[in-house]
Amino acid sequence: MATNMRGLTQFIADIRGARVRELEEKRINKEMANIRKKFKDGNLDGYQKKKYVAKIIFTYILGYKVDVGHMEAVNLISSSKYSEKQIGYLAVTLLMHENSDFLRLVVNSIRKDLDENNEINNCLALHAIANVGGSEMAEALAEDVHRLLISPTSQSFVKKKAALTLLRLYRKHPDVIPAAEWALRIVSIMDDQDLGVVVCVTSLVMALAQDHLEAFAVCYTKAVDRLHRLVIEHEYSAQYAYYKVPSPWLLVKLLRLLQYYAPSGSFASGAHFLIRIKYLILGDPTIRSVLHNVLQTTMNNSAEPSRNVQHNNAQHAVLFEAISLAIHLDTNSPLVGTAAVILARFISSKETNVRYLGLDAMAHLAARADSLEPIKKQQGTIILSLRDKDISVRRRALDLLYSMCDVDNSELIVGELLRYLKVADYALREEMVLKIAILTEKYASSYKWYVDTILQLISSAGEHVGDEVWYRVVQIVTNTEDLQEYAAKVIFEHLKAPSTHESLVKVGGYILGEYGHLIANEAGYSPIEQFQVLHHKSQFCVASTRSLLLSTYIKWVNVFPEIKPQLLNIFERYRHVLDAELQQRACEFYALASRPDDDELLQNVCEEMPPFPARESALLSRLNRKHGDTEDKRTWIHGGKEANLERQATNRKTTLGLQPNGNGSASAAQMDGQDIMGSLAGLDISESTTHNDTPNPPLGSTPISSSASIPDNILRLTVGPSVERWYNKLTYNAEGVLYEDVQIQIGVKSKYQGHLGQLAIYMGNKVSAPLTSFTTTVSVSDPEALSISFAKISPSTIAPRTQTQQLLHVECKKMFTTPPILTVSFLAGSHQTIRIRLPVVVTKFFEHVKLGQADFFERWKLIGGPPREAQTVFPVDLNAANQLDLVKNRQVVSGHNLNVLDGIDPNPNNLVAAGVLHMSVEGKVGCLLRVEPNRDAKLCRLTVRSTSENVAEEVQKLLQGPLKADT
């Protein structure tokens, strides 16, 4: 740049040659004055504008304020020359903030560059959008950036920049990006041949999927397929192998993306669509099997460390993410057992990063696992990590100890944390205090141990103890009568120490004021001694603490009349202080204490505090706020399996709209104000409520609202003149065409036996170009009734004029009425999506039954009429000979797997049939039917009887459709 502009080169040389700052400023001021004059005079060509704007940019980079050249930079962007356009864009991104008025002038120029076929101009425009990215610019240009990303003519490096630009815009202005609407089109690019494009698009999908799980559910299959191709089949070019590890950045992102979706059987959302997708994708045995192979291979490849540091780093990055995914999917899997052995080795590694990641992964295991035994074996090593030279490792060790604590090791871990607290970093102490307080309360073996530990905690780290901690002590002591005398003695002994933190004085003031009379008759705990110890400490306390102590003194006036003169003297002295709160209390208390001894007002005012009502501890909410979600949301929290189950339950309630306040930030703000004072509402510390007796509901047992609607744009079926006819025909035929257009043909061939079935779906590419990013998914309305899984992952590409086959395994568990929906999406110039019903209906699981005339009518009468009978009368068509189409009627009935019984009905035009429905969960259900057509009336009566009224009604609907006259 500088070599082509001698004026700029000389200016830079002069600046560098300035020996003092004053000379530099003088030279810059002179140049700026000259530039202003040139701009004011006008008539500058493109080269001169470029040169002067470049000088302005250099001046700005040096740290000087610049108030000239903005309009010239805007004009340079419109130039047709690359060098001038480049300087213009550079000036815009550096000199203008996102709310600058000048940006409105460049939006059209940027859009023009995005629309051009020049890749260089495309990239310059994308850089400007990503770097400036104001709200107005995002709204105006997001569509253009998206178009550039999905365009089949865009070069790979343009797609990469477009994906990252969209990611930048979404992080700054999420409302501008219609993520759900663009989901399928963006996810389809994860099948791109260029791994660089896949890395960038996966980064975008990760950000979008966190907030739109339903819309991006199909990315799960794409991620598993790409992992399989990279790790198992080694489908990648040599340029993407980093020290023999295939594209580690992409592997890490894909493994992390899979963790955003709950494991199969754990339905965290209340939307029917999401349940179907999770069940069929995450619960698909094929997907699980492929993913298991990927994780197993990853762990085997990383079993032995290499001498090459870079190779180790890449392998470990992938390995730790694979371990996290294995833990996320199933903690009882053999993979997790292997991972525990690997982690045990890593937490003792000489490398700081490996120790850090090992402890973090082990904390994840502790947060999910049913058994903590594999982690407890490494307890000594973990405790030693508290004294690691690196503070980040010490913090991870603290998190792990907190997560792995249970009833068996709580005293050991809490004791170790208390010892370490005295020498811990100040940055860790506040968090340590919260965790020690939570663990002490949660796993207290006795109330005495709880009081001893908490008071020791307050003594050791008083300045780091929040008000929530001593409030909690007050609640528990107040609610536990057996503990009150012991607590009063222990707090008195702590107050006798030469130096005592103010939080301890507050606890002592409250407990001695309420329960000091319980120990007043014992040696060393007399009322005067209690008063002297507490009053001596008050001299070093702030006004709020002294106010609390005045409340203690008025209670002592009521129970310790022997020290009433000393207390009245204190009230008298505080009546004249400047602090309004202290003065008001002292005046009121002095008036109360001065009343006659037989006056009951003082006794009524100073009655003992009643037990606090049950309330959740404010400590947990305080700790959770400290660990708020970052840009990349965590799928788990520190604190063991119980804490994570509670978090999932809370997330389900939020998703289902059960919380009155849907605004998370507002809710957190309210909690800030309520946690401290509201926690005084207390906790019933009785044995029955210390540990919550109400079990958490199973993850899959969340009641689903029947009014939950499916978004129209997600499951809207494809319509066409022949789609309905093809589907209806296949309900009573084993094979045929299910869908066809100018690009693709979809055919079905099926066979069923009992409650099991197998569908072969044939996908034929009818055009001379390949169908890329090919994806097939199946969704069902009730996964508990009908199970469908693919035999293998579908190929991502179908070559021109070729056909591919996919096998589907079907199982009927219970009665169902809604057929599954097949979604096929692919790229053929533009993105195409086809959604059609699969001909899997309840009659496919019928088997023939042979019955004689007597048996048939006996069972017919035994079943009886409604509600186990479904009957309808409908018009029928006559054939060309003006006769009833008895062949068609017989074909429809037998095609629905009902055995047509000849010789049962004396009318030869009538049909009688019987069958048995097989279901793996609900067993067998018998079904009988009669078809009675009337040629003269052109009507037909269909009667179905079954031991299940739902079966009778569904079979009647299925047969009526093809038998009914065309309208």
Structurally, the chain folds into a number of domains equal to 3
Is 507 found in the same domain as 464?
A: yes
Return the ∠ at Cα 635 (arms to 639 and 620), rounded to 5°. 30
Return the ∠ at Cα 512 (arms to 510 and 516), rounded to 5°. 145
Q: What is the 3-state secondary structure (H, E, C) of 773-837?
A: EEEEEEECCCCCCEEEEECCCCCCCECCCCEEEEEEEEEECCCCCCCCEEEEEEEECEEEEEEEE
* Per-residue confidence (pLDDT) for residue 653, from 0 to 100: 56
Whether 231 has a pLDDT exceeding 90, the answer reads yes
* Per-residue confidence (pLDDT) for residue 792, from 0 to 100: 85
Question: Of 229, 233, 211, 210, which is closest to residue 221 (Cα–Cα)?
Answer: 229
Q: Find out whether 942 and 871 touch, Cβ atoms under 8 Å.
A: yes
Whether 652 has a pLDDT exceeding 70, the answer reads no
744-753 and 786-790 strand pairing: unpaired
Q: Is the dihedral of CA 305, 306, 311, 312 positive or negative?
A: positive
* Per-residue confidence (pLDDT) for residue 277, from 0 to 100: 46
Report helix, strand and coil shares of the chain as percent, to nearest 5: 55, 10, 30
Is 879 found in the same domain as 814?
A: no
d(CA 681, CA 701): 32
Q: Write the CATH number for 795.
A: 2.60.40.1230
In a domain, 396, yes or no: no
> Buried (b) or exposed (e) across 930-939, using 16+ Cβ within 10 A?
bbbbeeeeee
In a domain, 783, yes or no: yes
Is 526 found in the same domain as 485?
A: yes
Quickly state the pLDDT bin for 737 (edges 50, 70, 90). Answer: very high
* Token couple for 718: 């494809």
Is 795 found in the same domain as 776?
A: yes
Is 582 found in the same domain as 497?
A: yes
Quickly state the pLDDT bin for 687 (edges 50, 70, 90). Answer: very low
d(CA 411, CA 960): 72
Q: Which of 593, 624, 655 is the last residue of a domain?
A: 624
* Token couple for 864: 């009886």
d(CA 550, CA 575): 11
Tokens 């999917």 locate to 329
In a domain, 268, yes or no: no
In a domain, 826, yes or no: yes
Return the ∠ at Cα 820 (arms to 814 and 822), rounded to 5°. 155
Whether 673 has a pLDDT exceeding 50, the answer reads no
Is 848 found in the same domain as 835?
A: no
Whether 698 has a pLDDT exceeding 50, the answer reads no
Residue 69 region by backbone torsions, left for phi larger than 0, else alpha for psi between -120 and 50, else beta: left
Dihedral in degrees, nearest 10, Cα atoms 829, 833, 834, 840: 130
Mean of pLDDT values over 956-962: 91
Whether 688 has a pLDDT exceeding 50, the answer reads no
Range of the domain at 510: 446-624
Mean of pLDDT values over 256-282: 57
Mean of pLDDT values over 957-965: 88
Q: Find out whether 355 and 393 touch, Cβ atoms under 8 Å.
A: yes
The counts of H helices and E strands in the chain are: 41, 16
752: β partners: 757
d(CA 41, CA 48): 13
Mean pLDDT of the chain: 83
* Token couple for 93: 């991104």
In a domain, 641, yes or no: no
Task: Of 314-323, 418-427, 796-805, give the lowest mean pLDDT range.
Answer: 418-427
Whether 579 has a pLDDT exceeding 80, the answer reads yes
911-919 and 923-934 strand pairing: antiparallel
In a domain, 272, yes or no: no
Is 923 found in the same domain as 871?
A: yes
Whether 703 has a pLDDT exceeding 50, the answer reads no
Count the neighbouring beta carbons within 10 Å of the beta carbon of residue 254.
29
Tell me the one-letter amino acid at 594.
S
Quickly state the pLDDT bin for 434 (edges 50, 70, 90). Answer: confident
Is 881 found in the same domain as 770?
A: no
Half-sphere exposure of 822 (CA within 13 A, CB side): 24
Question: Of 247, 362, 256, which is closest to residue 315 (Cα–Cα)?
Answer: 247
Whether 754 has a pLDDT exceeding 50, the answer reads yes
Quickly state the pLDDT bin for 650 (edges 50, 70, 90). Answer: low
In a domain, 328, yes or no: no
Whether 708 has a pLDDT exceeding 50, the answer reads no
Task: Of 629-643, 779-793, 891-905, give the lowest mean pLDDT range.
Answer: 629-643
Is 894 found in the same domain as 808?
A: no
Is 896 found in the same domain as 822?
A: no
As a whole-number percent, the residues of the chain with pLDDT over 90 amount to 35
Give the residue with greater pLDDT, 909 vs 704.
909
Binding residue numbers: 6-7, 38, 47, 51-55
Is 831 found in the same domain as 849?
A: no
pLDDT tens digits along 7-36:
888 888 988 888 888 998 899 899 889 988
Q: Which of 624, 644, 678 is the last residue of a domain?
A: 624
The DSSP call for residue 884 is B
Whether 358 has a pLDDT exceeding 70, the answer reads yes
pLDDT tens digits along 470-505:
788 888 888 888 888 998 999 888 888 888 888 888
Q: Find out whether 945 and 929 touch, Cβ atoms under 8 Å.
A: yes
Whether 179 has a pLDDT exceeding 50, the answer reads yes
Quickly state the pLDDT bin for 124 (edges 50, 70, 90). Answer: very high
* Per-residue confidence (pLDDT) for residue 189, from 0 to 100: 92
Count the neighbouring beta carbons within 10 Å of the beta carbon of residue 701.
8
Q: Find out whether 833 and 823 touch, Cβ atoms under 8 Å.
A: yes
Radius of gyration of the chain (CA): 38
pLDDT tens digits along 72-105:
888 899 888 998 999 999 998 888 887 787 888 8
d(CA 48, CA 76): 11
Q: Write the CATH number for 861.
A: 3.30.310.10
pLDDT tens digits along 890-907:
999 999 999 999 888 888
Q: Find out whether 814 and 919 touch, Cβ atoms under 8 Å.
A: yes
Mean of pLDDT values over 606-617: 74
d(CA 631, CA 211): 11
In a domain, 880, yes or no: yes
d(CA 278, CA 294): 20
Q: Which of 840, 856, 880 is the last residue of a domain?
A: 840
Quickly state the pLDDT bin for 533 (edges 50, 70, 90). Answer: confident
* Per-residue confidence (pLDDT) for residue 622, from 0 to 100: 66
d(CA 568, CA 565): 5
Is 935 found in the same domain as 818?
A: no
Mean of pLDDT values over 845-857: 90
Q: Is the dihedral of CA 128, 134, 137, 140 positive or negative?
A: positive
pLDDT tens digits along 190-224:
999 999 999 999 999 999 999 998 889 889 999 99
* Per-residue confidence (pLDDT) for residue 268, from 0 to 100: 40
Question: What is the CA 527 to chain-centroid distance, rounded?
Answer: 57
